[in-house]
Each structure stands twice: as C-alpha cells, then as structure tokens.
Amino acid sequence: MRPLFHPSPEDVTVEAILHALSDPVRAQIFAGVASADCAQICSAFADVSDRPVPKSTLSQHFKVLREAGLVRSERHGVEVRNTARLGELRERFGPLIEAIMQAHAKQQCETRAKAG
C-alpha cells in the first residue's frame, strides 16, 4: 500500500489551502474534521448537506485536503482516520484558517435561513 503524502508545514501554501476550501463539500468536510473531538473516518462524511457522496469522490476530497496540508490521515486497518492540522496551520498562518471557517459557518447559516 502506498504511503499517504503530507506536506511539511513549511511547504503548505495559502494558495493550496484556498483551493482546497474553495469546494463547498471539501469546506464542509474540513469543518467537520476540524470541529471533532477525535479523528474522523472518511465514511463519516458519506452524506454532506443531506446528499450522498460516492466513495471515490470522497477519497478525492480527502486527498485534496491532505495534500493542501489541512488534514493528517492515518491508516488503521481498512479505515483512514483524519485529524485537522490546526496547530501547525495556526503557527504558520495565524488566524487564517479560523477566519475562513468562521466565514464558512456564517455562510452555511445564511443559506439555511434562506431555504427554511
């Protein structure tokens, strides 16, 4: 099995982070991983916004998040457990990630309010 690629903190770029979080599904997945108390398995995000996400698409989303430096993924048997690299990102970029995620949460609330 091929090892999972994780960029070192100094190789993480703002552009890669913004690209990874520009997709609403990935932003929602990252928000879920970042707010969790423990590592999250990929299948926990099989439904995003009440819509099913195919396994292959979910794998691709996690790959983009991982290669952007947003999550650390570790294989445990057949599962891949994911944690947010918030500490490393905060050290390198200050409050950038928190600001992006706050804006994402606000947008989600506004979208729900309009729909409901």
Confidence (pLDDT) at 49: 79
Where do the domains of the chain lie? 9-115
Confidence (pLDDT) at 44: 94
Mean pLDDT, the chain, as a whole number? 94
| Structure confidence by residue, pLDDT tens digits, 9-66 | 999 999 999 999 999 999 999 999 999 999 999 999 999 878 899 999 999 999 999 9
Query: Beta 51-52 vs 40-41: how paired, if at all?
Result: unpaired
Confidence (pLDDT) at 13: 97
Cα gap 83→24, rounded to integer Å: 19
Confidence (pLDDT) at 68: 98
Domain 9-115 coded CATH 1.10.1740.10:
no
Confidence (pLDDT) at 84: 98
Cα gap 101→36, rounded to integer Å: 14
Largest CA distance in the chain: 46
User: Is the four-CA dihedral 41, 44, 47, 49 of positive or negative sign?
Assistant: negative
Contact between 95 and 57 (Cβ < 8 Å): no
Instruction: Answer yes or no: is pLDDT of 116 > 90.
Output: no
Taking the model in full, what pTM does it have? Answer: 0.92
